[in-house]
Structures are given as C-alpha cells and as structure tokens.
Copies of this chain bind each other. A is one copy, B any other.
C-alpha cells in the first residue's frame, strides 16, 4: 500500500485538534467517507492514529486505553501461565521482569514471595510489586514508552548490565517455527538480550497467540531459555527442537474446570 497525499494533512489536523472525524475529513477533502475510513485504517495500522467510532484520535492522547484493553485479552490464559511460572520462582533470589502483560501477571503472583530483589524495565511491574513489602524493587531507567509503560533504550541496557540475576522472566512479541524469539521494537530487543546474558536462568512466558504472529527483530533462540510457560501444546517440529535444547516446557491448558 502506498500512501495518500491526504495522510500528512490528516495527521496535521489530528495533531492540532487531538481528533479527527470521518465526516469532516470527507467534506474537507471532497471524497467519500469510504475513502477516509480507508485512510484512517491505514494510519491506525501504521500506529500513527488510534481508531475510534466516527473518526480517530492521537494514540495515547491521554493514556493508553488500547494497552489496558489488550491486557484484558487472553487474561485468563495469562493468569494461569503467570501462576504456574510464579510457582517455580523461589524466595530469596534476584529476579528480572521485563515488558509485557504476561510478566505483569507474573508480578501479581509474586506479591506473597519473600525477600526478592526485583529489577524491571516495566513501570507497571514496579507499581504492582510495590504492594509487596518483602521485596526490593529497582527500576532500570530509560525512555518511557507510553504504549505499555516500558522503559527502553541505551540507558536501560546500561542499567541492566550492572546486575547479575538468579532468574529472568521475560515475554516477547512472537516466536517463530524455528524457535526464534522476536520483537517489534529494536530498542527493546537490545534490552532483552542484555537481560538474558546477565541471568543465570531464564523463563519465557508466552500465551499461544505469540506462536502465530510474527515480528521483525530477533532477540535470541529458545535454546538460550531454561523454561517455557504457555497455554497450548507446541507444534510437533517446534516441540522437537525444544526437547533437543533441553527446554522445560510447561503447558497450562485453557481450563481444567471445563467451561
């Protein structure tokens, strides 16, 4: 898809007024609402705008509702994965939690652990774990990504590099059939790589949707991971790879108490 000459002006109006309406844009450009809708969809796909009924608004214009709703997606699966993962985390260790809704769910399940040193680049994880008094929290600095409360960039990698963790619990955007872990943001990839290299052990938490998506930037391969927590059995080829790598795969099925 190439881009339309209207795009810059739509974005300009959105910047100025905070929002754009389909009707007004159609009148403004002298095209049908159909065409404007296509423009807005494209701009939303490109992450430039957030689509709403009747028009579009600036992404994260007030605070990221998209993320809050995404958190609700697969919430049950995530909660189960998180509980199983947290059950494998002992007390009295140093721990890293990275960006992602699933790692946030893990944090929720660590509220009753004792004597943890938790380092994170996720502002939400920090606020969640603040409720656990038996837990020292260190936030790695960096540029705040409004989309998900993540901290990324060189500052973050530098901060992470100063630690050595007993365990890292990480999420990623996608996992491909060859067992490569992928992410959308190249800056986050750098951070994740540093985390893994600074950890004695690493757990990956990923709901099944991660196995059917793709993303452009490679973090590492599953061979670098010690345990995988997910909610659905892996495809045979991938499962074989994991066996070869000695990866402990914990499958926590959708709903044992049948719904």
A residues with CB within 8 A of B: 1-5, 7-8, 11-12, 15, 18-19, 21, 43, 45-48, 50-55, 57-58, 60-66, 68-69, 72, 123, 126-127, 130-131, 133, 136-144, 146, 151, 155-156, 159, 162
Contacts and interface: CB of A to CB of B under 8 A. Distances in A.
A8 B146 contact: no
B139 A5 contact: no
Given A8-B62, A60-B130, A50 B3 contact: yes
A196 to B, nearest CB: 19
Contacts of A19: 5, 8
Contacts of A50: 3
A3 B65 contact: yes
Nearest to A162: B155
B144 A142 contact: no
A155 B159 contact: yes
B131 A138 contact: no
B144 A137 contact: yes
B141 A142 contact: yes
20 contacts: A2-B52, A3-B50, A3-B52, A3-B65, A5-B52, A7-B52, A46-B69, A46-B72, A48-B63, A60-B130, A63-B131, A64-B130, A123-B126, A126-B144, A137-B143, A137-B146, A138-B141, A138-B143, A138-B155, A140-B141
B123 A127 contact: yes
A50 to B, nearest CB: 7
Ranked nearest first, the 3 interchain pairs of A and B with the lowest CB-CB distance are: A141-B141, A46-B68, A137-B144
Contacts of A144: 126, 130, 137-139
Given A1-B69, A2-B53, A7-B62, 6 more contacts: A3-B52, A5-B21, A62-B127, A123-B139, A138-B141, A139-B144
